[in-house]
Amino acid sequence: MSESVTGYIDHVIFRNEENGYTVMILKGVEDEEELTCVGSFPVITMGASVELTGNYIQHPVYGKQFQAATLTEKMPEDAMAMERYLGSGAIKGIGAALAARIVRRFGRETLRIVEEEPERLAEVKGISEKKAREIAAQVSEKADMRKAMMFLQKYGISLNLGAKIYQKYGETVYSVLQENPYRLADDISGIGFKIADEIAYRIGIHTDSDYRIRSGMMYTLLQASGDGHVYLPREELFQRASELLGVDPSYMEKHLMDLSVDRKLVQKEENGVVLVYPTMYYYLELNTARMLKELDILYPEDPEMINRRIAQIEKETDTVLDEMQKKAVTEAACHGLFILTGGPGTGKTTTINAIIQYFEGEGAEIRLAAPTGRAAKRMTEATGYEAQTIHRLLELSGMPEDDNKSGQAVHFERNAENPLEADVIIIDEMSMVDIQLIHSLLQAIIAGTRLILVGDENQLPSVGPGNVLRDIIRSMAFPVVELKKIFRQASESDIVVNAHKINKGEQVVLDNKSRDFFFLKRYDADIIIRVVIALIQEKLPKYVEAKPFDIQVLTPMRKGLLGVERLNQILQRYLNPPDASKKERENAHGLFREGDKVMQIRNNYQMEWEIRGLYGIPIEKGIGVFNGDTGILRTINDFAETAEVEFEDGRWAEYSFKQLDELELAYAITIHKSQGSEYPAVVIPLLSGPRMLLNRNLLYTAVTRARKCVTVVGSEETFREMIRNEKQQQRYSSLDRRICETEE
C-alpha cells in the first residue's frame, strides 16, 4: 500500500533530463529532518511545496529513501512557503532578499497578488512595473508548462520531447494533440511519423483519419528518400503507405491530390506512369538541371595551341598522355562543364594533374574538393594541391536544430549571393555526391567558372537521395570522357585487373597466385571471423606495412552472423581489449572504450571541431562532422560527461555523452560506408545474404577500396554469384530527364 509525504524541495542531488529521473532532498516532512526522494518527475521547481506518493525503501548504500510514484506540486499555502518558493531561484530576477521583501509587504496575500494583481508588486522597493509584469508572466508560464508536461506524460511523451513540443506550441498544445497530432512529425525534430502515430493511437484518433493517411504518405516518401530515391511511382507509394498504415490503397487517391494542392508533393506523368516527388526534391533536380546548363559554356580555343600546351606539360612532368587523356584536357579547356570518368588504374589522377597544369599555365585560380575528408586527403596526396571537403569549400555554417523540418537546405556561407572566387573547380569522387550537395555547390558557382566533375559511375551511388553522376552522364547533354585503358603499372595489380573483370561480369581466377588479391575459402561464420582476426592482427600489417587499425573489414550487411554489428563487438575484444587504464562508456550502440575505432553515422552540421598544433593548442576551428567520418575515441571523461574523437584528417571533436549515439564502432563497416575511402588493405567476409544486396556493383566498390591488398574470406559461390548478379537496387531519380527538358 502506497504512502504519501508532504514537504518542500530543498535541493536536487541528481537529475537526468532525458527521462526525468531525480534524486532530491525534501525538507519539512513530518518526523524527518530531511528525506532523500527518488523518482521520475516531468518538472522540478526548487523550493516548491510538493506531495509525493510511493513507498519507503532501504537502499544498501544510501540508507532510507522515499521511492515516489507521483509528484503533485502544491502552490505555497503560507507566507514562509511563498518566500521559500520565490527565493529558490525558480523565478528569474528574484533572490532570497527580494523574496523576503515581497512576502513582508503582502504576507499571505502574496500568491493572489502575483497571479491577479501583479502590477502591485511595484509597491516593493527594487521592483519596477516592467519587472512586476515579467515576474507574473514567469509564474504563469511555469504553472502552464507544468500542467502541459503532465498532460503530455499521459501519452507516453518523454520529458525532452515534451519540452520541445511545449516550446513549439505553448498553450495550443492541447488543441494540436486532440485535432492533429501528426503535425508533430512535420514541425518538431526528433518526432517522426511513428511517434506521432503512437500518440494519435493513445488519444483515440481513428486509423483512417485524413491527417493520419496524409502524414503516413509523406512519411513513406521521406523514408524512400532515405533509401536514395527522389520520387516513387504512384502505385508503389500507395502500396508502401498501405503496408505502413494498414489502410486500403483506394483511400489514398484523394489525399494525393490534397497534398499536391498544399504543395507538399509534385506529381509528374512520364510514359503513362505518375511519379510522386516530395516538393523539395522535385525542385532540387529541376534547379540543378538549370544550373548545370548555365555552366555549359563553349570556349573557342585553338586546337593547335592546346596540343602544344599538352606537349609542353608532358615534357615538364615527364609523363605521356594517351589519346583519351589528351581529349580530356582539350574538353576541359573548351567547355565550362566537363565530366571525367573511369575505373581504377585508368589514369584519372594523371589526367587531373595535366588539367591542373594546363589551367595553371593560364594563371587560373583552381579549387579542388571531394565529398569526404578521406577523399579530399587522397586528392591532396595525388595532386600536390590542397583539396577540401565540399562542405568546407562552401563554408558550412551551423544550422538551427529544426532546419531539416522546414525543408530548407543546410546553410553555406558560399551561395548565390556570395559565390566561390575561382576560375576552375575540380570535384573528385562525384559518385558520392547527392542531389542536395550538388545543388548547394552549383548555387555557389557563377557562369564563367569552369566545373570539372570526376568519378567512377560504376561505384555505388550516394548515401543521400539522387544518382547525380550517373544521371549527368546519361543525359548525354555535356562533354564526357571515359578512360578505359588500364596503364602498365596498374595492370600489374590484380586488384585493378580483377575490379575491371568484376565490372564487366567476367569471372576472376581464385588460385591465390596473386601478390595482392587473395581468396580464403571458409564456410562457417565463426571460422571466417577467426581468420579475419588472424589476418588483421598477424598476417596483413607486415605485408602491407600498416597498423592493424588501418586494415578495414568491409561487409555487405549490418545484421547477421557476418554483419557490422556482430563483427564490431567481436573485433573490439581482440583489437582493443579491456584494460584498467582505458575508460569505458555504454550507449545505445553498445560499449565504447578509449582507443576504439569509431565512425560518425549521421551528419551533424553544428558540431564544433579543432585541429591542434604543438602542446594541443588549437590552430584551426570549424563546424560540421559528417556521416562516414572515422577516427579514434581518445578520451572518455566521466566527470564532464564528454568524449573526444580524433578524426583521420586531424580534426578533434568533443561529444557529450548524449551525442555518443551519433557514433558506432568502425572495425568493420558496410561497403556502402566505405565509398570514397581507400585503405592499405581490405578484408571482405562473404557467406550469404539477400540476392538484391549481393550484387556486382557492391563487390566492385569493395575491391576498389584497397590500395595494396584485397583478401576475401568465405564462400566462392557467393563471390561468383555477386559477379553474375548485375541487378542493382533500383534507385528512382530523374536528373537526366530534367536536364533534357531544360534543353528543349
Band the pLDDT of 146: cuts 50, 70, 90: low
User: Cell numbers 504518405 correspond to what residue?
Assistant: 217
Is it the case that residue 570 has pLDDT exceeding 90? yes
What lies within 8 Å, CB to CB, of 406 at 6+ separation is: none
| Distance separating alpha carbons of residues 299 and 306, to the nearest angstrom | 12
Is it the case that residue 506 has pLDDT exceeding 80? yes
For residue 550, how many other CB atoms are within 10 A of its CB? 16
527: number of CA atoms within 13 Å, CB side?
Answer: 9
Average of per-residue pLDDT across 25-31 = 84
Cβ atoms of 387 and 693 within 8 Å: the answer is: no
What is the secondary structure of 696-732 as a DSSP string?
HHHHHHHHTTEEEEEEEEE-HHHHHHHHH---PPP--
Band the pLDDT of 665: cuts 50, 70, 90: very high
What lies within 8 Å, CB to CB, of 278 at 6+ separation is: 218, 221, 222, 225, 231, 264, 265, 266
| CA distances from residue 597 to 226, 374, 515, 663 in whole angstroms, order as listed | 26, 15, 28, 10
* pLDDT attached to residue 190: 66
| Residue 349 assigned ligand-binding role | yes
Strands 706-714 vs 517-521: parallel, antiparallel or unpaired = parallel
First to last CA, the chain: 80
Average of per-residue pLDDT across 26-43 = 83
CA dihedral sign, ordered 379, 381, 384, 387: positive
Residues shown for the chain: 744
Average of per-residue pLDDT across 367-374 = 91
Angle 431-434-439 (CA atoms, 0-180°, nearest 5)?
A: 120
Band the pLDDT of 19: cuts 50, 70, 90: low
Strands annotated E in 212-321? 232-233, 265-270, 273-278
| Distance separating alpha carbons of residues 295 and 447, to the nearest angstrom | 5
Band the pLDDT of 73: cuts 50, 70, 90: confident
Average of per-residue pLDDT across 397-405 = 51
CB burial readout 145-169, b (16+ within 10 A) else e:
bbbbbbbbbeeebbbebbbbbbebb
**pLDDT (tens digit, 9 = 90+) per residue, 344-364?**
889 999 999 999 999 999 999
**pLDDT (tens digit, 9 = 90+) per residue, 241-254?**
998 888 888 888 88
Band the pLDDT of 400: cuts 50, 70, 90: very low
* pLDDT attached to residue 490: 67
Average of per-residue pLDDT across 662-675 = 92
Average of per-residue pLDDT across 615-628 = 87
| Distance separating alpha carbons of residues 720 and 699, to the nearest angstrom | 10
Which letter does DSSP use for residue 413 in this model?
A: S
What lies within 8 Å, CB to CB, of 80 at 6+ separation is: none
| CA distances from residue 515 to 494, 549, 699, 708 in whole angstroms, order as listed | 8, 22, 19, 9
β-partners of residue 340 are 454, 481
| Distance separating alpha carbons of residues 179 and 340, to the nearest angstrom | 54
Which letter does DSSP use for residue 673 in this model?
A: G
123 versus 17: the higher-pLDDT residue is 123
667: number of CA atoms within 13 Å, CB side?
Answer: 26
* pLDDT attached to residue 118: 75
Q: Please, is 290 exposed, middle or buried when counting C-beta atoms within 10 Å of its C-beta (0-12, 13-18, 19+)? A: middle
Task: With CA atoms as reference, report the closest residue to 429 among 354, 368, 497.
Answer: 368
Is it the case that residue 712 has pLDDT exceeding 80? yes
**pLDDT (tens digit, 9 = 90+) per residue, 198-207?**
777 777 777 7
β-partners of residue 622 are 609
Band the pLDDT of 688: cuts 50, 70, 90: confident
What lies within 8 Å, CB to CB, of 320 at 6+ separation is: 314
- 676: left (phi > 0), else alpha (psi -120 to 50), else beta? left
* pLDDT attached to residue 352: 95
| CA distances from residue 29 to 35, 42, 218, 367, 517 in whole angstroms, order as listed | 7, 22, 53, 70, 75
**pLDDT (tens digit, 9 = 90+) per residue, 253-290?**
888 998 999 899 999 999 999 999 999 999 999 999 99
Q: For helices 234-245 and 210-226, what crossing angle results, to 10°?
A: 120
42 versus 584: the higher-pLDDT residue is 584
| Distance separating alpha carbons of residues 453 and 449, to the nearest angstrom | 13
Residue 74's H or E segment, with its range, is strand 63-74
What is the secondary structure of 89-108 as a DSSP string?
T-STT--HHHHHHHHHHHGG
Which letter does DSSP use for residue 20 in this model?
A: -
| Residue 64 assigned ligand-binding role | no
| Residue 336 assigned ligand-binding role | no
* pLDDT attached to residue 49: 80
133 versus 721: the higher-pLDDT residue is 721
Amino acid occupying residue 541: P
| CA distances from residue 350 to 320, 356, 423, 433, 657 in whole angstroms, order as listed | 9, 10, 21, 22, 45
For residue 726, how many other CB atoms are within 10 A of its CB? 11
Is it the case that residue 532 has pLDDT exceeding 70? yes
3-state secondary structure at position 195: helix
Cβ atoms of 723 and 456 within 8 Å: the answer is: no
| Residue 714 assigned ligand-binding role | no
Q: Please, is 625 exposed, middle or buried when counting C-beta atoms within 10 Å of its C-beta (0-12, 13-18, 19+)? A: buried
Is it the case that residue 399 has pLDDT exceeding 60? no
Is it the case that residue 401 has pLDDT exceeding 50? no
Percent of the chain with pLDDT over 70: 93
Average of per-residue pLDDT across 32-55 = 83
Average of per-residue pLDDT across 386-390 = 92
3-state secondary structure at position 669: strand
| Residue 361 assigned ligand-binding role | no
Is it the case that residue 88 has pLDDT exceeding 70? no
Is it the case that residue 402 has pLDDT exceeding 60? no
3-state secondary structure at position 62: coil
| Distance separating alpha carbons of residues 222 and 281, to the nearest angstrom | 10
Extract the C-alpha cell encoding 435: 542531389
| CA distances from residue 18 to 41, 85, 289, 522, 608 in whole angstroms, order as listed | 11, 25, 44, 46, 23
449 versus 223: the higher-pLDDT residue is 449
* pLDDT attached to residue 77: 64
For residue 255, how many other CB atoms are within 10 A of its CB? 20
CB burial readout 629-640, b (16+ within 10 A) else e:
bbbbbeebeeee
**pLDDT (tens digit, 9 = 90+) per residue, 449-468?**
999 999 998 888 888 899 99
* pLDDT attached to residue 111: 72
Residue 66's H or E segment, with its range, is strand 63-74
pTM above 0.85, yes or no: no
Cβ atoms of 535 and 552 within 8 Å: the answer is: no
